[in-house]
Amino acid sequence: MKQEQEQETTPKKNSLFGETRVSKDFKTTLTPGKLKSGSQISREKPTDQEWFQVYGNSMDDLEEMAIVKIPVGLKEEDYIIRGTKKFQDDAKNSFKKVRMCRVAFYVTSNGRPGLWMISVPSANKEGYINAWVATANEIVEMAQKKWVKKQSNVPNGYYDGFYAREEDQQIFGEPDFRFGYEEAVLKSFDKFFITEETIETDPHLRVAMGTPIDLKTSKLENRKVE
């Protein structure tokens, strides 16, 4: 029985986010009657008070995506860069401040769905991984197996993780994801994708790109004082 449940909750790896456009007819394949809008799937991490579980059986089940923050009105929105490898490389070069994230689809014990964009671990010059990033990844991996919560340990600069008590694990029961990984990401991000099409038509992307300035002093030899 457990094996059947694991198969049902394991996301299928696919090339959806490597496509060069956002499919105009993807909505025809979505689970009917589940959600009315992407706003119902938060793109914020769980609060420090929420117990949650994460979709999938291992970290390999979570897509790694290139994400850029773009000003939209009075706030900044996360956009996913989506397309061929060449297009993604060109887009990363155009927007510069790009972060590689694992997109963790989670559901809380009270049924609230959300996406937590956790940075892919990368060592600094000293060979260490940022503690917030390292502990977030570890907690998400824990949350693929049991109900957990995270708490921000600001003085020490990392997350603390907690398992729910065994009796509460039983009370919370199996997580009700209700829809697939692809559907959750598409609904949550809605129109916030950077593609070959939207990079030409989305006014927010056009404004954010600007035109790069060739700064002479960016080169070491031009900063030498005679």
Residue of higher predicted confidence among 8 and 114 = 114
Contact 69, 78 (CB under 8 A): yes
Domain with 145, as residue range(s), is 2-6+37-121+129-208
User: For the chain, how big is the Rg over CA atoms in Å?
Assistant: 20
Assigned domain for 141 exists: yes
This model's pTM is above 0.85: no
* pLDDT, tens digit, 9 for 90 and up, residues 132-161: 999 999 999 999 999 999 999 999 999 999
3-state SS assignment for residue 171: helix
Assigned domain for 202 exists: yes
Kindly write down the DSSP assignment for every residue of 13-80, as one continuous string: P-SGGGSSS--TTGGGGSPTTS-S-GGGSB-SPPPTT--EEESSSSGGGSPEEEEEEEEETTEEEEEE
Assigned domain for 29 exists: no
* pLDDT, tens digit, 9 for 90 and up, residues 176-226: 998 899 999 999 998 899 988 888 888 888 888 777 777 788 777 777 776
Assigned domain for 224 exists: no
* pLDDT, tens digit, 9 for 90 and up, residues 118-136: 999 998 888 999 999 999 9
Q: Report residue 149 as tokens.
A: 């919560």
Structural domains of the chain, count: 1
Please state, for a pLDDT cut of 70, what percent of the chain lies above it.
82
Is 112 exposed, middle or buried (CB count within 10 Å of its CB: 0-12, 13-18, 19+)?
middle
Residue of higher predicted confidence among 166 and 208 = 166
Assigned domain for 52 exists: yes
